[in-house]
Amino acid sequence: MADALKIGIAGLGTVGASLVKILTTRSNMLTVACGRPIEVTAVSARDRSRDRGIDTSRMQWFDDSVDLARSADIEVFVELMGGAGDPAYSAVKAALSRGLHVVTANKALLARHGVELAALAEEKGVILNFEAAVAGGIPVIKALRESLTGNTVSRVYGIMNGTCNYILTRMEKEGLTFEACLKEAQRLGYAEADPAFDIEGNDTAHKLSILTTLAFGTQIAADDIYLEGITNISLEDIRAAADLGYRIKLLGVAQKTVTGIEQRVHPTMVPQDSVIAQVDGVTNAVAIESDVLGELLMVGPGAGGNATASAVMGDIADIAKARPGAQLVPSLGRPARQLEAYKRGEMQSHEGGYFIRLTVQDRTGVFASVATRMAENAISLESIVQRPKVHDDKAAQQTIILVTHATTEQSVRQAVAAIETEGYLIGKAQVIRIERPKSA
């Protein structure tokens, strides 16, 4: 049997501790499956005294993760610290420069430095694996990088943030406000004390940018994504969606068009009977549409210690099984230096159209004005619903809900902008795209 594969782990939080437990309690199983033992010989974390429920007494301890990467007696460096910058960036770069294989769960690092790190891995002839960086335990990276070779991918989309999906699910099923659901998510550990990165869509954007590169062979472009979070989604939107036969999900969508690559993250209405609409709570789902296979939809746990550790363990096992001298699969699906320049495509027409909610003053001519502004921008309406009048201390108001046929983002935004100049709109217009997945 081959010698043990020695690994070093930087970061012993929830995921790191879960990984050590898996490697310890299932060592015999892993040895048989991988053809060689796997041993954790070095670790790095900020606090040596913290009880993590694991025994690190036989492991070499480094206070500095970069020192671990540079000098530990290991073959694989596992980065579980997070963050786009240091120490994660310097530690991973040091490990690759030294000729170590690297496994990371760090989507922020890859979104910013992925192409550079992939090029360095290829130069050194080592593996850079990152299955856990997108959708937790769902093997979407391997599917795009290896399993779908020979397919031409046209679109990738999905629910990639458990925090947002949990909040939207609770709002719908229990009639709770966004603020109440967020507070509960924080109490349960699904949301950070500062939840902005999740609820404003940035986490999903980082993951989407990685999938875009794997799907379409372009440079990673995390800063070139149309981005909306869920902070403006109200119970009124949730209820209106239900009345119309939809559920609201935060989706990341990437598709290739004649003008370039369209990347967008935003709340979306999906039909209640579609598969993706049934994905609730902290669960993730990713769909890949291609010419040969059709649509592949993968659903599973998108976060948490065990789910993420499982994906990391799969990456380590692939390294353990790799034959010396064998041709390595490029980290980003194709050689980093052959990735095409990213070209942002224009926002296309959406077959599902748009949901537009307007709270307006209850006065003569408002309804006709709204219809006129839509017609001026060549927007065909599928349905118009007027909600019952509501009286506050100032004036009577009513809600108008419009559902459009397929139209462009520009047309909708121009129509809404024109309505905003009329003087009867109360607050902001709510605009939510409607998607009808092929799996509906």
**Sheet strand arrangement including 76-79:** 60-62, 38-44, 5-10, 76-79, 101-104, 128-129
What does the alpha-carbon distance between residue 350 and residue 352 come to, in Å, rounded to a whole number?
5
Residue tagged 């699906």 (tokens): 333
* Spatial contact of 377 and 415, defined as CB atoms under 8 Å apart: yes
What does the alpha-carbon distance between residue 157 and residue 252 come to, in Å, rounded to a whole number?
5
Identify the DSSP state of 425: B
The CA–CA distances, whole Å, from 404 to 75, 93, 375, 382, 424 equal 56, 49, 11, 5, 21
What does the alpha-carbon distance between residue 169 and residue 147 come to, in Å, rounded to a whole number?
32
**Three-state SS for 311?**
helix
Give catalytic status of residue 321 as yes or no.
Answer: no
Residues 6+ apart with CB under 8 A from 58: none
Helix axes 409-420, 366-376, angle to 10 degrees: 150
- Cis check for the bond before 87: say yes or no (omega within 30 of 0): yes
Q: Which of 142, 207, 249, 256 is flagged as catalytic?
A: 207
> What single string gives the DSSP state of each residue in 134-164?
TTTTS-HHHIIIIITTT--EEEEEEE--HHH
Residues identified as active-site: 207
